[in-house]
Amino acid sequence: MAWTQAQLDELKAAYASGVMRIRHEDRWVEYRSGAEMERAIARIEAELAGASGTLRVRQYRLYQDGKGL
């Protein structure tokens, strides 16, 4: 499903107010927990970021300092 920023904002508002049931177009969606809503928000944010061409990249570098004895 292609998500919109408006739908993401609606889901975030519902989560913030504690509402577990929201309407998407012509159907109702009921979430079982706040954690499930958080996962949905994260998934939609990732899809929207991918659609806009922006990627969040984390890069880790490990350094070792010392004589290595």
Taking the model in full, what pTM does it have?
0.67
The encoded tokens of residue 65 equal 């300092």
Instruction: Determine the pLDDT at residue 3.
Output: 85
More confident residue, 17 or 3: 17
> What pLDDT does 21 receive?
93
Residue-wise pLDDT for 5-54, tens only, equals 999 999 999 999 999 999 877 889 999 999 999 999 999 999 888 866 65
For 14, 25, 57, the CA distances from 29, given in Å and listed in that order, are: 11, 10, 31
pLDDT of residue 2: 80
